[in-house]
Amino acid sequence: MDYQKMLEKLNWKPLSRMVIEKRAIIMHHYIHGPRTQPDNSIVLRRLENARYSTRHGHALEVCLPNSSLEAVTSSSLNTAKKLWNALPPEIVAIRHPALFKSAIRRQTTYEDLARNNKQRRIEEM
């Protein structure tokens, strides 16, 4: 039995999808919620560059570090930032935590991220 069929039979989500949901929820808590990070670890792009256009993203995008080191670019925090920046504007704009969790846990959100190559689908490897 292949991985996808086994997940469906057990009514489980793929691990990659659960990780995406958790990272998005954590970023939501830092952007909209009461959690705080050390200074300048999460900076909104529009605060750093007033001339930034939201045509290619959304108004709540966060800055990523300019680094060529794989250890920096693939860190957990930077991976969460990339995921946050890839989310659709209508989901990012949701301020209420329960509504955001509901939106991020929809199958269509996961499919959109995977289809746009923003996140890997481990179950297809």
44: which strand partners?
62
How do residues 56-80 score in pLDDT, each as one tens digit?
567 778 877 777 777 777 788 888 8
Domain coordinates in residue numbering, the chain: 15-34+45-124
Tokens of 79: 């991976």
Contact predicate 59/52, CB 8 Å:
no
**Among 29, 74, 64, 15, residue whose Cα is nearest residue 44:** 64
Q: Is the pLDDT of residue 119 over 80?
A: no
Predicted local distance difference test score (pLDDT) of residue 46: 59
62: which strand partners?
44
Full-prediction pTM beyond 0.85? no
Q: Is the pLDDT of residue 122 over 70?
A: no
How do residues 81-117 score in pLDDT, each as one tens digit?
888 888 988 999 999 999 999 999 998 888 888 887 6
In eight-state DSSP terms, residue 107 is H
**Among 89, 93, 95, residue whose Cα is nearest residue 112:** 89
Give the separation between CA 94 and CA 103, rounded to whole angstroms. Answer: 9
